[in-house]
Every structure is written in structure tokens, then in C-alpha cells.
A and B are shown apart, each in its own frame.
Chain A
């Protein structure tokens, strides 16, 4: 396919077709993200009539960071310390053997999930396959009373009957596009969420 364009500023990672991703648009600034976290935290507590009996379980890598942020916000306005866990779903994925699947971090859930309401937290909801794997991984840790899903971005293109309960932003995308999430504690950069697309995709917003 097309060779990377040397004049393109900061070419992104290679696309599946062998081209390069280029920046299209910023959908969340750091301030937008802060507000979205605050709103999601409130919605979680509102939906569950309080924060007792909740566990926030983040999916590696950035979901784990988002879960920590949500717990800190809930503690701030509700005065309840919600347990936070992190889940690595690599060994539960259904695409093992089809692409390189490597674990991203240690699974650590500090409390027994049995009888509690677990909120799975991730940055982007796309095909739903990560959440599917997370449900399997969670099952082995216990029997939650209920499982809910919170994400910063729902970009569509679901391949499984899975939906998010709490969404920062619904963002219709093309399949070939890439949502780049950058969080300070994971990436060492200012918080941002951007849409990148293939350089030869002919879309709008290209520099």
C-alpha cells in the first residue's frame, strides 16, 4: 500500500492497510474530560442509589486509570471510598492466535465481587469484545449482583450484544479510524481524546 508520507507532521501508527494515521479532530480537551469524568461519577452513584456495594474495575491500560479517577471523584462528593480494581482480559480474549495478544498488567481486585455491583470501566467501547472477555474474567472472581459498563467514548461498530450504561460521549466513527486517548498518569501527556484516520482515507480535517 502507500508508503508513509515523509512531509506529514507526526505520522501516527501504521493502519491495518499499511498506510499511516493522521490527525482528524480533537473530541475531548483536558477540561472536557474532567467534566465527563465528573458527570459519569455522578451518574454511577445516582443509578445505584449511593456508592455502597460498588466496585469500580478498570480494564488495562487506560480503563484502570479512569476507574481510579472516578473513585476519587465519588469519594469527593459522596464521602464513600469505592474499592477500585484492575482487570487484565488478555487470556480471555477470543482473538488469541489471530493477532498478538499480550497481558497488560496484573489483575488486582481488592474485594470479593460476589454480591456487589461491579462497574467495568474502559476508555473506548468499540466492538464489545473486550467487555465480553472482561465478563468472563469477572465470572472467575465471583458472582457480582450486577455488572455495569462505563466508558469515555462509545464509537459504535458493536459486534456483540453489549452496551454501555455510562458514556462520556457517543462518537460515530468510521471503522478504519482510530480513537487516540491520552491520559496524564498513563501517557505522561496532557489529557486528550482525538480522532485519527488513514492518511489516504480522503476524509475531512486532514492537515
Chain B
């Protein structure tokens, strides 16, 4: 594996290999000194053209726990504000001697473009509506730890603005590759336009599905979508698609509730449900550091090939 741009780069074996490695790093992150010298001397730079708190912090924590040096590049206050092109920015950063570049950009395909300009390993930390592969990995690790190896036969509903969500795209692919049965649930304006690239059942009635599900995966409803006429109102969304207390009560007792964050409490998920015993939302965050350690180690350290 030279870069991690899409879940498609991995396949089931590649996913399993990264998840196994993620489990090892999870053990490392629980030690009194949660740090190993594996990537001493390597430099990881995060290049974020879009706002992010958790993904960026998670990658930086992951790099530091592997003893890599980290550099952060944020668009505001940089020469991008002076009109520097993406290519010039990337090549300038590489000239400083970096081994991996973690890229987030509002446009799909930017991480792939970056790979053609540099020798460093490139990790996609979210590109437009395309993909967010490390989110998919941390979701898969979270489920695997609750269910044992493999997600074979797990019934999962992903609910929310699927069409505009890179998280939904990557996570659906990863869950399906690991053997889960995924259903995408959303208002028609938020379902994918085409089936291609979505290994899932598209559309379904949430209230019918509830008692059959092993996992409910909720996506953040972005307020700005209301203005784009995709939603009549947040209130109506909550009534039809929100995981309210009443809906949560109809789930099986062992159904897991997931959310990639940040949450809109009271919109897609009720506050009590997000904090209830079935919620694994904070575990997702902890597992995020471990899988990002696995990705960086696989790209920069192990010398092994996934693909």
C-alpha cells in the first residue's frame, strides 16, 4: 500500500489486516505510556483545506503515539490566503522532507491528484463527497470489537444525508466488504442518485427496519441542507428519520448505535439515546486514533503491502 485514498484500495483482506493492526495499536493506546518508537524520524504533515477538529486531532495524536514528527498546515494564515496553488503548496511542503501527507479537501479527487505530485505517502482524510476511508476503518473496528471478527450477516442501517456524505460512501463499502448487509435510509432527496458504488439496499422504512437491526448508524444532518431545499424542516426530519427515544426503545437490546460526529442532539439522535448504553459513539473516537496509527504504520513503517 503506497497511499490510502479509498476503501476500494483495500478489499476484504486489506481491511482485515489494517483492523488487526488497529487492535494492536488500541492495546498500545491503553498503556501508561501510550507511545511506541515505530516511526521515529518520520514526518507526517496534515494539510486540511476544510474545517475539522476530531479527524485532524486524531491523525496528529496517532502520528505522535508512533513517535513521528507532525506538522500542521491550515489554510487560514498560510500562503494559500495569498493565492498559492494547491500544487505549489504541496510541493513546498514535500521539499521540507515529509514522509506522509494527510489531506482533507472540499473537492473530490484532490488526494489522488496530490499523489501525482509527490513521493510521500498520501492519506485521504475526507475529499468532498467522495470518501473518508479512515472513518470507515474506525467504524469497522468498533463493530468488530463488539461482534468478534468479521461483520458477516450484520444488519446495518445508515440513516441521514447519504447522497452528500463521504462517510456514508466509505463506511458502506467497508461494512459490505466485511460481509454486512447494509440498508441506506433517508428522504428521497438525500438518497444516492444511482446504485453504482453503493453495495447496499437503497431506501427502506425506518420503523419497519428497527426491530431487525444489529446496528443503527446515524449521519449528521447539516443545517445548511435545509436552505438547499433538501429538507422541509429539521423538525420534520426528526419525526420521520430521527433516532428518538421511542424508536430506540423498539431496537433489539443488543443493537449498537453509531454516529461519526459531530452530533446534532435532538435532530438525528436524541440526547438520551446518544448517551445510552447502546451507544458506542465515544468508542468510535478512541478507535479512530488506533486505526490511524495502523494506517500510518502500514504506509511508513511495516514495509508490508496490503494491496
Contact = CB atoms under 8 A, between A and B. Distances in A.
Interface of A: 88, 90-92, 96-103, 106-107, 136, 140-141
A57 to B, nearest CB: 15
B304 interface: yes
Given A96-B38, A140-B33, A106 B27 contact: yes
A136 B27 contact: no
B302 A102 contact: yes
A92 B66 CA distance: 10
B37 interface: yes
Given A88-B24, A97-B303, 20 more contacts: A91-B66, A92-B37, A92-B38, A96-B301, A96-B303, A97-B302, A99-B303, A100-B304, A101-B301, A101-B303, A102-B21, A102-B302, A102-B304, A103-B24, A106-B23, A106-B24, A107-B27, A107-B28, A140-B31, A141-B32
Interface of B: 21, 23-24, 27-28, 31-33, 35-39, 66, 297, 300-304
22 contacts: A91-B28, A91-B37, A91-B297, A92-B38, A96-B38, A96-B39, A96-B302, A97-B301, A97-B302, A100-B302, A100-B303, A100-B304, A101-B302, A101-B304, A102-B21, A103-B21, A106-B27, A107-B28, A107-B31, A136-B37, A140-B32, A140-B33
B295 to A, nearest CB: 14
Nearest to A140: B33
Determine chain B's interface SS by DSSP, over half rule: loop
B21 to A, nearest CB: 7
Contacts of A100: 302-304
B300 A97 contact: yes
B303 A98 contact: yes
Nearest to A107: B27
Contacts of B21: 102-103
Determine chain A's interface SS by DSSP, over half rule: loop
A140 B301 CA distance: 21
Nearest to A142: B32
B20 to A, nearest CB: 8
Contacts of B36: 91-92
Closest 3 CB pairs of A and B: A91-B36, A100-B304, A103-B24
Contacts of A91: 28, 36-38, 66, 297
A98 B300 CA distance: 11
A114 B302 CA distance: 31
A133 to B, nearest CB: 9
Contacts of A107: 27-28, 31
Nearest to A96: B301
A106 B21 CA distance: 11
Nearest to A106: B27
A88 B23 CA distance: 13
Nearest to B304: A100
Contacts of A140: 31-33, 35
